[in-house]
Amino acid sequence: MTLNIQNLAFTHGSAPTLHEINATFEAGRLSVILGPNGAGKSTLLACLAGLLKPNKGIANLGDERIIGMPATSRAKRIGLLPQGAETHWAITAEALVALGRIPHRRGAGPSADDRRAVSAAMRATATEGFAHRPITQLSGGERARVLLARVLAGEPEWILADEPLANLDPGYQLDILDLLRHQARDGKGVVAVLHDLHHAVRFADHVVLLHQGSVFAQGAVDDVITAQNLATVYGIDALLSKDEEGATQLLIKGKMRS
Amino acid sequence: MTSRSMTGLLLLLTLVAFLLSLMAGKVWIWPTSWTADNADGWIFVELRLPRALLGLCIGAVLGLSGAVLQGYLRNPLADPTVLGVSASAALGGVLAIFLGINLVPFGLFGCAMVGAGASILLLLAIARGGGPIGFILGGMVLSTLAGALTAFVISIAPNPFAASEIINWLMGALTDRLMEDVFTALPFMVIGALLLLTTGRALDALTLGENGAKSLGVDLFRLQWIIVLGVGLSVGASVAVSGVVGFVGLIVPHLIRTFYGEQPSGILVPSALGGAILTLTADSLVRLIPGPGEMRLGIAMAVLGAPFFLLLLLRYRKGPA
């Protein structure tokens, strides 16, 4: 299964504009969207999630157009972890995770499937320990895991995460990245917008690098994250090397001198 | 206590408050004389029954509207007045009194509903496609405009008597209402309340913010329509029949949350019941305060509600949360 974008363009008011985007995301991989602020990363993710309607071009899930899918069936297949870890009301962690079941809900109460999916999602994210605590009392790291569990509870085929690591300490960032990678290994499609190039180098199976609303480069990490590309897109002077285990190491030395 | 048994308790309290409202007053009317063929029986059928029924319905729709709006705007300070529906309905009513249309059967009710309807249409036009911020700003502008026009009408009232009649009506009361008033207002309130009761799941989804809700398949545009229509019809009808009764829609969802938790869908029905209990009880109390005349329900509600609310806030501060 693929998420496929062809000639996609998006213009709206002050929102970052996308032009002529062509990209393919494969299930079973952790794909990362990179690019400087305002490059259009979140806009692209919102088009993939069906939240924004592109002016032109198509976004397909398999053979189906994402725009035009009934909202509920789209929500069942594509889960979005929005930017900003926004939550309101002091509901319990478990109640928050259960919100992920909304597209599946029919009758008044949760079904056996709903309960099973919620507890599986909480187990996968190691959040059962504070299931009954109000989310307002959780630490940032705990809350990030609960919010991810909310997406997993919907059992989507695709997980789209918009800056899932923002405001997290390094340990918690690695927790979330591990969880996302694990989901990809289990066969789900995972697309994450990231800011930290080090994380992208370490965790990404596939990278799409955006620059001023267009795809600057896409493909395997070593082909996309090159000193040349980083200099052009981010204006930074970076050193890439292989360590003794063959893993790529990134060192950002500073801004490019012009 | 589980939420089911708490709801059972609220239902019981609603029944008690309803019965109290049927009996209490300068003259107490016990159930034995409800069907009696004398003055007591007449008071019961002509005065007490419509009054208690209106208290029940108005309280319920105000509590429910408050809970829905607080959930939608994700703001515990929202109440049914934020949309400007109350103020617009009140303006309609005030114009009716000013022009003497209130002497025609259903004249006042009709004018107030036209006011509410106009505000619904304006809100939908203003908020088209916008998020809650455009919506609430539109509501505030409408509210301010209607309030200013109301003040203008009062200021040009031909004589002090007319002005005082208008002001008296504005303050909100359930006195001297007839069964006809109940039957006129009830359909609007029931339809509005049923619409509002369908919003629970979408309001829950909004706990995750607008993008979170949309990604869960919630149609925010449709939700906005349902809320404007639901609040407009039910609160519009309640203002049309009783004037502006404040505070219920603000305070009741807060009280309910302390017992039921904060999940928006979980407090809708309890807030309706709580609103009915509060309104019926306050309306019974205003009848029991000795002295000439009666305190207006709208005033009584604020006098009773404000200290209670402050107490609650103080207790919150001291508590562990």
Distance (Å) of CA A149 to CA A127, A159, B174, B235, B308: 8, 11, 50, 39, 39
The reported pLDDT for the residue numbered A227 is 92
Separation between Cα atoms, residue B153 and residue B169, nearest integer Å: 14
- The gap from C-alpha A36 to its chain's centroid, in whole angstroms, comes to 16
- CA A254 to chain centroid: 27
In CATH terms, the fold of domain A2-86+156-225 is Rossmann fold (3.40.50)
Domains and CATH numbers, chain B: 3-318 (1.10.3470.10)
* A139-142 contacts, C-beta under 8 A, 24 or more apart: A140/A85, A140/A167, A140/A168, A140/A169, A140/A172, A141/A168, A141/A169, A141/A171, A141/A172, A141/A175, A142/A93
Distances in Å between the Cα of B39 and the Cα atoms of B19, B36, B44, B127 are 19, 8, 9, 53
A255 pLDDT more than 80: yes
Mean pLDDT by 10 residues, chain B (321 residues): 89 96 87 83 86 95 95 85 88 90 84 90 75 78 92 88 85 80 92 96 94 93 90 91 86 91 95 95 87 79 79 65 41
Residues 6 or more apart whose Cβ sits within 8 Å of residue A253: A236, A237, A238, A239
Predicted local confidence at residue B46, as pLDDT = 84
Closest partner residue to A102 (CB to CB) among B204, B262, B264 is: B204
Q: What's the DSSP call for residue A66?
A: S
Higher-pLDDT residue of A146, B121: A146
DSSP state of A190: E
Give the model's pLDDT for residue B157. 85
What is the pLDDT at residue B297?
85
Contacts with B228 (C-beta within 8 Å, 6 or more apart), sequence order: B83, B120, B123, B124, B127
Q: Which two tokens stand for residue A85?
A: 């870890």
pLDDT at A76 over 60: yes
| Range from A146-155, A184-193, B251-260 carrying the lowest mean pLDDT | B251-260
CB contact under 8 A, B216 and A49: no
CB A58 within 8 A of CB A81: no
Lookup result for tokens 């009392």: A137
Give the model's pLDDT for residue B321: 41
In this structure, the strands spanning A15-26 and A214-219 are: unpaired
pTM of the full structure: 0.90
Separation of alpha carbons A41 and A214, rounded Å: 10
Among B146, B128, B126, CA closest to B137? B126
Tell me what pLDDT residue A224 has.
Answer: 94
- Taking phi over 0 as left and psi of -120 to 50 as alpha, with beta for the rest, A85 belongs to left
Closest C-alpha among A206, A160, A187, A150 to residue A44 = A160
Say yes or no for a CB contact (<8 Å) between B204 and A154.
Answer: no
The residues that bridge with A60 in the sheet, in sequence order, are A4, A65
pLDDT mean over A176-192:
95
Under 8 Å between Cβ of B67 and B252: yes
Considering only CB atoms, A80 lies closest to which of B211, B261, B262, namely B211
Out of B205, B216, B262, the one facing A90 most closely (by C-beta) is B262
pLDDT at residue A192, as a whole number:
96
What's the confidence (pLDDT) of residue B274? 96
Amino acid letter at B144?
T
Q: Give percent above pLDDT 70 in chain A.
A: 98
CA pair distance B232, B279, nearest whole angstrom: 20
* Structure confidence at residue A15 (pLDDT): 64
Share of chain A above pLDDT 90, in %: 75
| Domain residue spans of chain A | 2-86+156-225
**Mean pLDDT on A48-54:** 91
**What pLDDT was estimated at residue B185?**
92
Closest alpha carbon within chain A to B207:
A88
Q: Is A82 on the interface with B (CB under 8 A)?
A: yes
pLDDT tens, position by position, A87-132: 999 999 999 999 999 999 877 788 999 999 999 999 999 999 999 9
CA B156 to chain A, closest CA, distance in angstroms equals 46
Task: Report the DSSP pairing between strands A248-255 and A236-242.
Answer: antiparallel
The token duo for B141 is 């502008």
Q: State the Cα–Cα distance between residues A33 and A53, nearest whole angstrom.
A: 19
